[in-house]
Amino acid sequence: MARKFLYVVAGLIVLVIAALLAYRIWGMQLIRAVMVPREAFTQIQPLPANAYDDPKMWIARPDVVKDNPALWIPEGVKDAPPTEKAAVFFIHPTSYITTLGDAHWNMRLDDQESLATASRFVKNQASAFNAVGAIWAPRYRQANYGAFLTDKPAGDQSLAAAYRDVAQAFADFLKANPDGPLILAAHSQGSLHLLKLLREQVAGKPVADRIAAVYAVGWPISVEADLPALGLPACARRDQSHCIVSWQSYAEPADPSAVIESFERKPSFTGTPHKGTHMLCTNPITGAFNGAAPAGANRGTLDARDADKPTRLVPGIVPARCDTSGVLMIGEPVDMGPFTLPGNNYHVYDYALFWADVREDAKQRLAVFLKK
């Protein structure tokens, strides 16, 4: 009996090893086969010109009081009111993630599951900015996660379609906020759209003078090949405004090769190659370009692991160090939940790891901007 049990255990070990080997050899092919939409891309129709006049087209905006996830703050957080508030435009990351089935290239606006996930992202990410102003976070027909896993034209086409919604929402945001300071923030797919907004709708235009800070988190930005087209410099220190903040979080040992390879392959905003350039890394604890900070300096990480308990803010558990590769190292893996990606990629938790630091960063940059 014992021998049979050992045979079973040995067999399971062999299966696990075989599965891991298959993933190492065919991992991305398997992921693409499962997650890239199979349907032919069909251009989605433009939204009505007045679509974003409707509060239902916003996950958060000032007149949405009931069930506004951007108004959430962890227990115990108290802020002195700023002398003047900013208007905050936040673009949420990808929440439309499908496997097999009848997946579309762009989310439909009646997809309740994806909308609910987007609201959770706004709660855990955009809420970091609610001390500095009212948050406007639009719903948009985001590209499917699979758009980032393919070189097919449909991937770029779906992202372009999503951007058109974002640009329309941004125009409505500016119409509703014709003066005063602005903070623009996003994550992942949202940051890609935000960078395109900077290049096409902000750089070289009067609105650029109103930008207190930009938080384009979770998307690689080339210091040499992207920043010159965006109209704003990288933030070099926390007592600086009118600049761009960005980082991508990895635990050690880290393997950011997939991100780096994609970054080097994709075109830049200036048209020059990404390869051989440096990715922007802002240390979210210090607010400085590059550098390191110990865990003890971290003002607070969101702990949302237990769905039956309120999300807690826990200080002093996650360090930050900008690596020579351009990504942000957070030391040894920390238990943030089930969504750590291969390579010790903490992409999903970019904001949560440093929620209180982002909050302080926004307050300080706005204060500096208002003194100009």
Contact 356, 300 (CB under 8 A): yes
10 within some domain: no
16 within some domain: no
d(CA 344, CA 249): 9
Contact 321, 286 (CB under 8 A): no
- pLDDT value at residue 281: 98
Mean pLDDT of the region 181-190: 98
Judged on CB neighbours under 10 Å (0-12, 13-18, 19+), 235 is buried
Strand partners, 187: 217
Q: State the SS3 of 159-215.
A: HHHHHHHHHHHHHHHHHHCCCCCEEEEEECHHHHHHHHHHHHHHCCCHHHHHEEEEE
Calculate helix-pair angle for 189-197, 153-176, nearest 10 degrees: 60
298 within some domain: yes
Q: Spell out the residues 6+ positions from residue 63 whose beta carbon is closer than 8 angstroms to its own.
A: 55
299 within some domain: yes
12 within some domain: no
238 within some domain: yes
Number of domains present in the structure of the chain = 1
20 within some domain: no
Domain membership of residue 272 as a residue range: 27-370
Tens digit of pLDDT for each residue in 263-310? Answer: 999 999 999 999 999 999 999 999 999 999 999 999 999 998 887 788
- pLDDT value at residue 31: 66
d(CA 299, CA 315): 5
Tell me what the pLDDT averaged over the chain comes to: 90
Nearest alpha carbon to residue 327 among 244, 257, 235 = 257
18 within some domain: no
Strand partners, 249: 328
Angle, vertex CA 111, rays to CA 107 and CA 114, nearest 5? 75
